[in-house]
Amino acid sequence: MRAVIIGTGGYLPERAVTNDQLAAEKGLDTSDSWIRERTGIGQRHFAAEGETASSMGAAACRAALAQGGADVAEVDCIIVATATPDSAFPSTAARIQGALGVTRGMAFDVAAACTGFIYALGIADALIRTGQATGVLVVGTEVYSRILDWSDRGTCVLFGDGAGAVFLRAGDPAPGDGLLSTHMHADGRHGDILAVDGGAGSTGGTGVVRMAGREVFKHAVTKLASAVDEALEANGLDQSAVAWLVPHQANVRIIEAMGRKLGLPLDRVVITVDRHANTSAASIPLALAEATRDGRIKRGDLVLMEAIGGGLTWGAALARF
């Protein structure tokens, strides 16, 4: 048995904030042109009072199940990738399980920052291949607006809130179909270049995002390229087989560099960073949801996903829809 992606779903908070609005509201010494030139970001969504990682994640799950024509009774596992959980425990996954009315199976969170969705896909795939699960909701959901330092224009302009989900069903697809492989890596020696300063178990810190942007960019280009090569080689495929690149939406320069590496024109790369900003673990499933709903990604398309995040963590996944 292997995992087949049955449905995708996304949720964005109602409030969209443009670069100019953000600069005015937060008193930032920045501008729309400064942000766009360096990141490609034009706006982001911010969660409303009372919206949480679990409430947004549950909405994305409902959308994924609906698109796939699936019922909550099929769900026996929920894996949530998030760096902004509702609480230290219970897990955000358990809260989503309760909100959906799922009463069987397992639910747990994965902490791998922006690479979390790739990690969660890999775990879901392993659970399905070993027969421990048959219907898995894989969710990325984040409320980064609550862990940003609004005096640091180098980081606070980069992030937004949102949630995305996919529903995986165990099946016996034809060779070359379904979730083909996932490839996950980490190197904790570089953890401090992108991290949250403090947390529930810390003895200090401020609890906000800190980033050494140039260092992260340098690692991103080389490590993502390596993960992409690994995924293609593992499946005996070359770059020409890829129909769509769905990358983590951190910076349009990195996205464009990966498109060039694969020889893909930009119209074969799903880009949402301009409207969503960096939604961390939610960025890939949000982009998948958008591209499957508007008809860009069709059944039979080979889709390559890749991400890098704090840890450092990075990875790639290859799936035929």
Using the 3D structure, point to which of 114, 144, 171 is the last residue of a domain: 171
Distance CA 241, CA 235 (A): 11
Residues 113 and 240 in one domain: no
Task: Write down the pLDDT at residue 176.
Answer: 85
**Annotation marks residue 77 as catalytic:** no
Q: Which of 183, 185, 190, 248 is catalytic?
A: 248
Residues 84 and 205 in one domain: no
Residues 144 and 212 in one domain: no
Distance CA 214, CA 182 (A): 27
Task: Write down the pLDDT at residue 32.
Answer: 97
Task: Write down the pLDDT at residue 53.
Answer: 98
Residues 315 and 291 in one domain: yes
Task: Write down the pLDDT at residue 203.
Answer: 79
Residues 39 and 136 in one domain: yes
**Annotation marks residue 248 as catalytic:** yes
Task: Write down the pLDDT at residue 165.
Answer: 98
Distance CA 179, CA 5 (A): 7
As for how many domains the chain has, the answer is 2
Helix residue spans in 27-176 (DSSP H) = 32-39, 53-67, 92-100, 116-129, 153-156
Residues 167 and 210 in one domain: no
Cβ atoms of 48 and 13 within 8 Å: the answer is yes
Q: What are phi and psi of 199, to 5 degrees?
A: 175, -170
Task: Write down the pLDDT at residue 206.
Answer: 87
Using the 3D structure, point to which of 115, 141, 171 is the last residue of a domain: 171
Q: For the chain, how many residues are written? A: 321
Residues 97 and 190 in one domain: no
Three-class DSSP labels, 111-130 = CCHHHHHHHHHHHHHHHHHC
Residues 225 and 298 in one domain: yes
**Annotation marks residue 278 as catalytic:** yes
Give the residue numbers spanning the domain of 61. 2-171
Q: Which of 114, 156, 190, 251 is catalytic?
A: 114
Residues 127 and 198 in one domain: no
Residues 7 and 114 in one domain: yes
To which residue do tokens 């673990």 refer? 281
Using the 3D structure, point to which of 171, 197, 216 is the last residue of a domain: 171
User: Domain with 48 in it: what CATH number?
Assistant: 3.40.47.10
Residues 61 and 107 in one domain: yes
Q: Which of 185, 190, 251, 278 is catalytic?
A: 278
Task: Write down the pLDDT at residue 116.
Answer: 98
Residues 39 and 85 in one domain: yes
Cβ atoms of 318 and 177 within 8 Å: the answer is no
Ranges of residues in the chain whose predicted pLDDT is under 70: none
